[in-house]
Structure 1
Amino acid sequence: MKQTTLSTLVLVAGLLVAGPVLAHSEAHKGHHAVATVKEQKPWGIAGEASQVDRTIEIRMTDQMRFTPDRLQFKQGETIRFVHHNDGKILHEFVIGTRETLDEHAEAMQRFPGMEHAEPYMAHVAPGQSGEMIWTFNRAGEFDFACLIAGHYQAGMVGTVQVLAD
């Protein structure tokens, strides 16, 4: 009986540890496997591939920088972002307001394994590429960042200016 109980405890402990790790890995594989939820955000809404106006290539490096780090669009433009991770560690590209990025970065510091896969986020493994499609239907100044713990704090940020019609 003791051997069975010990085996069960080891199995349960293994599942408790592996579950969040696997879930986090799945979340970072890309959000395209799941139907995209179109939720209006202050910085826009998930876009449709059939409505892409242009493609912007973004490079991410382990020097904690994006190239380019300043973007300008016209209100209503739908952009296909193609992200290239030129580094050896995972990076992400998250669009938002300074306030929402600050809040998310703080949460990532407290819970580095937290799951998230929103249409305004792209997670790109080292040496890989990823993409996202976003419609900038609101004018204003917004930001983008890598919110992986330590990356945002190291300056992995950029700005988006969306010009009114």
Structure 2
Amino acid sequence: MKKLISIVLLSLAASASTLALAHTEKAHDKKAAPAKKEQKEWGIAGDAKAVQRTVTLTMTDNMRFTPDKLTFKQGETVRFVIQNKGKLLHELVIGTKKELDEHAALMVKFPGMEHDEPYMAHVAAGKAGGLIWTFNRVGEFDFACLIAGHYQAGMVGKISVLAR
């Protein structure tokens, strides 16, 4: 049975668009490795030297982000400071509604799964984390906490990226 579970998890990890590891209460150390520069529909990992604006987001155990609506200009590089004011682990994941829906469904099936990409930040209870992102594509995008049950409870937000 253990071998079957291992095979299923390896298959899932290989087919998923993000890396899957076990969730822990410890926040990830983003300084350990440079962010992957992979163009996504909603932008690309940003450089600290290029930051044009800092936005602080607060996450709480009432399954909400404050603010939950953000607007940026195309090409803007943003530093997100993410504060977890709750007693539970929360995360910020930026993406399209379709990608967030798909990943949230996987998280419900495999609640111990974790992801670590430059457009994601996991923040332990009472701690702060962050990420830097360049919004180089115009459009309407989403952000959410994909921890099992949090997304389904409405822990989501909207991002509008306007043309310059």
CA distance in 1, matches of 2:163, 2:25: 37
Aligned equivalent of 1:78: 77
User: For the structure 1 residues 152 and 26, does the alpha-carbon distance in structure 2 shift closer, same or farther, using more than 3 Å as the test?
Assistant: closer
Q: Kindly provide the amino acid, as one letter, of the partner of residue 149 in structure 1.
A: A
Tell me which amino acid in the other structure corresponds to 2:85: D
Residues 31, 131 of structure 1: CA spacing in aligned structure 2 closer, same or farther, 3 A cutoff?
same
User: Hey, what does 1:147 align to over in structure 2?
Assistant: 146
Q: Distance in 2 between matches of 1:153 and 1:115?
A: 17
1:32 Cα deviation after fit: 3.3
**Which residue number corresponds to residue 15 of structure 2?**
none
Q: Are the equivalent residues in 1 in contact too, given 2:94–2:144 (CA < 8 A)? A: yes
Rg (Cα) greater in structure:
1
5+ long unaligned stretches in structure 2: 1-5, 7-20
Give the aligned residue type for 1:76: G
- For normalisation by structure 1, the TM-score amounts to 0.83
Identity over aligned pairs, percent: 67
**Equivalent in the alignment of 1:136:** 135
After superposition, where does 1:2-151 map in structure 2 within 5 Å?
Answer: 23-25=22-24, 28-151=27-150
Deviations 1:102-156 (A, max 9, x none): 0000010011111310000000000000010000000000000000000000000
Q: Which amino acid aligns with 1:131?
A: G
Give the TM-score normalised by the residue count of structure 2. Answer: 0.84
Q: Post-superposition shift, 1:28?
A: 4.4
Distance 2:99 2:26 in 1: 19
Q: Number of residues paired by the alignment?
A: 145
Deviation at 1:84, TM superposition (A): 0.2
Residue 31 of structure 1, CA deviation? 3.3
